[in-house]
Amino acid sequence: MPEATLVEAVNLALARAMEDDPDVVMLGEDVGVNGGVFRATAGLQKRFGAERVLDTPLAELLISGLCVGMAAQGLKPVGEIQFMGFIYPCLDQLVNHASRLRNRTQGRLTCPMVLRTPHGAGIRAPEHHSESTEAMLAHIPGLRVVMPSSPERAYGLLLAAIRDPDPVVFLEPTRLYRAAKGEVEDDGQALPLDVAFVVRKGRDLTLICWGAMLKETMAAAEALSAEGIAAEVIDLATLKPYDEDTVLGSVAKTGRCVIVHEAARTGGFGAEIAATIAERRLSSLLAPVTRVSGYDTVVPMARLEQYYMPSVERIMTAARKVCQFS
């Protein structure tokens, strides 16, 4: 199978979706001639024309609102927001319209749109380019929030998101765009949404993460195994709705859980998972569910951002503590 980076996998999935379905259209700032500032849409305008790969004015609210209108007419719009820091003007459209068009009209109108955006810190980007506010999006009823952590899952999940009949926010970990490489078969096969991936088996401890944090979490799991701790690693992949069964099943087996996310701690998605475990698997817990997260600060700019993001060491320290708890 050919190797691809995560951003190349996104490009492959977009091309495949456009090829397969004439209703799929791309829109956003610089997505056309320039192929997107990260090249996620490179070559698509040449191949599919400027009507289906549309450079929009610089207006995020417009991009998300256009998607709602297009989707209601049966197109399958895939909007790109250049960085997650600029997704906030879209919230009005996501909260008040995209997520509830089906519900408001009792199924008469629907909103099969995808809004893609790079997500997270660690690329030494300017101010406002590094935030992780996935929990805010996951709080919106009626949306799906998906975050791939490998080229293979980026390809399969993006195809699934585009084919899904409801609105999906697709968060692409910027740090992995070029850093993550893997084999990707461009076979048009989607991966299931709403399903978590157990990427490493283990009996002593469950490590849960998503997006770019898979890298540090896997490294921690490897290092822990040298200390005799067998960690199971779950890549949540879809945050909304998230796969409770896989999480609870794993915790029932291991009795211990550490959740890793680079978003700030308070109100982060880790809190949601911890609450579910407390409600439904308290009796199988051998230690408190623990979070390793970003701090409750503004994501610092380049010089200090590495201290904000969970490190392999911080994950290992938390894992050891949880394992020694008595």
Partner 1 sequence: MRCRGHNRSGSEGVTSRRVNQDLPVIARFEVRYRNYLAPDGSIQRPLPSFASDSKLLIELYRSMVLLRLFDRKAVALQRTGRLGTYAVSLGQEAVSVGIASAMREEDVLLPSYRDNGALLWRGVKLEEILLFWGGDERGNQFSGPVHDFPFCVPVGSQAPHAAGVAYALKLRKEPRVAVCLFGDGATSKGDVYEAMNFAGVHKLPLVFVVANNQWAISVPLRQQTACETLAQKAIAAGFIGEQVDGSDVVAMRAAGEEAIAAARDGNGPRFIEAVTYRLGDHTTSDDAARYRPAEEVQAHWKEEPIARLRAYLVAQKMWSKVDEERLAADCHAHVEAAAERYLATLPRRPETIFDHLYAELPEVYAAQRRELAGEHDA
Ligand X SMILES: Cc1ncc(C[n+]2csc(CCOP(=O)(O)OP(=O)(O)O)c2C)c(N)n1
Tell me: does residue 131 bind ligand X (CB under 6 A).
no
Contact 236, 243 (CB under 8 A): yes
Residue 266 CB, nearest approach to partner 1 (Å): 8
Residue 55 CB, nearest approach to ligand X (Å): 11
Q: Which among 316, 322, 324 is positioned nearest to 217, based on CA atoms?
A: 316
Residue 126 CB, nearest approach to ligand X (Å): 8
Tell me: does residue 58 bind ligand X (CB under 6 A).
yes
Amino acid at site 100: R
Q: Which residues bind partner 1 (CB under 8 A)?
A: 29-30, 32-35, 37, 55-59, 61-62, 85-86, 89, 124-129, 265, 295-298, 300-305, 307-308, 313-314
Q: Which two tokens stand for residue 79?
A: 């909007």
Nearer of residues 12 and 27 to ligand X, judged by Cβ: 27
Tell me: does residue 172 bind ligand X (CB under 6 A).
no
- Rounded Cα distance between 235 and 214, Å, is 7
Nearer of residues 29 and 243 to ligand X, judged by Cβ: 29
Query: Which residues, in sequence order, are CB contacts of 19 under 8 Å at separation 6+?
Result: none
- Rounded Cα distance between 156 and 272, Å, is 26
Nearer of residues 163 and 265 to partner 1, judged by Cβ: 265
Tell me: does residue 82 bind ligand X (CB under 6 A).
yes
Going across the sheet that includes 231-235, the strands are 197-200, 231-235, 205-209, 257-264, 290-294
Contact 261, 208 (CB under 8 A): no
169 binds, among partner 1, ligand X, none (CB under 5 to 8 A by kind): none
Tell me: does residue 80 bind ligand X (CB under 6 A).
no
> Which residues partner with 200 through β-bridges?
233
Tell me: does residue 86 bind ligand X (CB under 6 A).
yes
Residue 200 CB, nearest approach to partner 1 (Å): 25
305 binds, among ligand X, partner 1, none (CB under 5 to 8 A by kind): partner 1
Tell me: does residue 164 bind ligand X (CB under 6 A).
no
* 129 counts as catalytic: yes
- Rounded Cα distance between 245 and 195, Å, is 9
- Per-residue x/- marks for ligand X, 4-33, CB under 6 A? -------------------------x----
CA 191 to chain centre: 14
Q: Which two tokens stand for residue 316?
A: 């290992």
Contact 276, 284 (CB under 8 A): no
Residue 37 CB, nearest approach to ligand X (Å): 7
* Count of residues that bind ligand X according to CB under 6 A: 5
Q: Which among 21, 40, 22 is positioned nearest to 32, based on CA atoms?
A: 40
HSE, side-chain direction, 13 A CA sphere, residue 260: 32
Count of other CB atoms within 10 angstroms of residue 166: 18
12 binds, among ligand X, partner 1, none (CB under 5 to 8 A by kind): none
Active-site annotation holder among 97, 119, 129, 261? 129
Nearer of residues 7 and 199 to partner 1, judged by Cβ: 7
Residue 270 CB, nearest approach to partner 1 (Å): 14
Contact 237, 157 (CB under 8 A): yes
- Rounded Cα distance between 101 and 121, Å, is 32
Active-site residues, by number, are: 129
**Residues at the site binding ligand X, with contacts judged by CB under 6 A:** 29, 58, 60, 82, 86
